[in-house]
Amino acid sequence: MANKENPSYFLWERFKNGDDDAFYRIYDQYFNELYSYALNFSKDQDFIKDCIHDLFLNLYKYRKTLSSTDNIQYYLLRSLRRLLHKEGTKRNTLLHDEQLLHLNDIPVVSLEDEIIANETKKENFKALADVMKKLTKKQREALSLKFEHNLSYPQIADTLNISVESARTMIYRTLKELRKAIKKGKTSNSILLFFMLRNRI
């Protein structure tokens, strides 16, 4: 089923056959993405680093018996998710919900430079951040899988163990909530902002 046209397929095959160089290349290529994905599950950076370490260690140890793939990103995300869940249950991660709301892991800081001055965008991002805090873990993860990691709906459904329909509905509803949040703060700057965004990219 793996598409041999895809260069990822060969990278993975070389790794499986014992090429250490390929192994570390995969690590370098996907580390950041895996790290940011793991942030959906835990704020504990040490925990995340440990899990990523364990993930790659296990991949290396059992590389001969792994299945082939042409989508390394998808394979790694799913494996990491399983590991995070399994290890997560061994830890005590209980937090007072009040605290969870205040934990600032949402950097409204990383805005593109030219737009930093724009108050509307800052306000919108803050409103969106507030809505994000109220979503369930699964909803946040679904959004992350779709927009940060660009997974398709069937892939999202498979990762979250829900039906494709549920995945679509979940993202649709969550986006609706986000839209509601910023629709409130409409100013006449909006059109200007839109053109600024379009031209900037």
Partner 1 sequence: MENNEVKKAYDILADEKFSIDSTVEKIENKKESETEELELASTIYSFLTSYKKTPSSQDKENVRAQLRSSIQQDKRKKTLARWAVAASFLIVMFSVWQVQRTVDTSDFDILVETMQLSQPDTATQLILQDGRQVLIAEEESKILYDEKGENITIDSTQKITQSLENKKPVFNTLVVPYGKRTQITLADGSKVWLNSGSKLVYPATNTGNKREVYIDGEAIFNVAHIDNKPFYVNTKDFKIKVLGTVFNVNAYEDDNNSGTVLAEGKIEISSNNNTLFNNEKRTILPGTRIVYNNNTERFEESQVEVKNYLSWRDGYLILEKEPLETILKKISRYYNVDIELQNAAIGKETFSGNLNLRNTAEEVLNIIAETTQIKLNRENNKLIINLN
Which residues inside 87-146 make contact with partner 1, applying CB under 8 A? 88-100, 105-107, 110-111, 121, 124-125, 128-129, 132, 136-138, 143-144
Which residues inside 61-80 make contact with partner 1, applying CB under 8 A? 61
Residue closer to partner 1 by CB (options 4, 49) is 49
Residue closer to partner 1 by CB (options 5, 198) is 198
Q: How far is the CB of 5 from partner 1 (least distance, A)?
A: 22
Q: How far is the CB of 113 from partner 1 (least distance, A)?
A: 12
Distance in angstroms (rounded) separating the CA atoms of residues 122 and 108 = 7
CA dihedral 3, 7, 12, 17 (to 10 degrees): 100
Q: What is the largest CA-CA distance in the chain?
A: 60
Cα 23 to Cα 32, 36, 61, 66: the distances in Å are 16, 20, 11, 13
Cα 86 to Cα 55, 57, 81, 110: the distances in Å are 12, 16, 9, 32
Using the rule CB under 8 A, is 164 a contact of partner 1?
Answer: no
Query: Using alpha carbons only, what angle is made at residue 56 by residues 100 and 8, rounded to the nearest 5 degrees?
Result: 105
DSSP for residue 148: I
Q: Which of 4, 53, 82, 133 binds partner 1 (CB under 8 A)?
A: 53
Helical packing angle, 45-61 and 72-90, nearest 10°: 120
Q: Which of 4, 49, 82, 133 binds partner 1 (CB under 8 A)?
A: 49
Residues near partner 1, by CB under 8 A? 24, 27-28, 31-32, 35-36, 39, 45, 49, 52-53, 56-57, 60-61, 88-100, 105-107, 110-111, 121, 124-125, 128-129, 132, 136-138, 143-144, 147-148, 168, 171-172, 175-176, 178-179, 182-183, 186, 190-191, 193-194, 197-198, 201
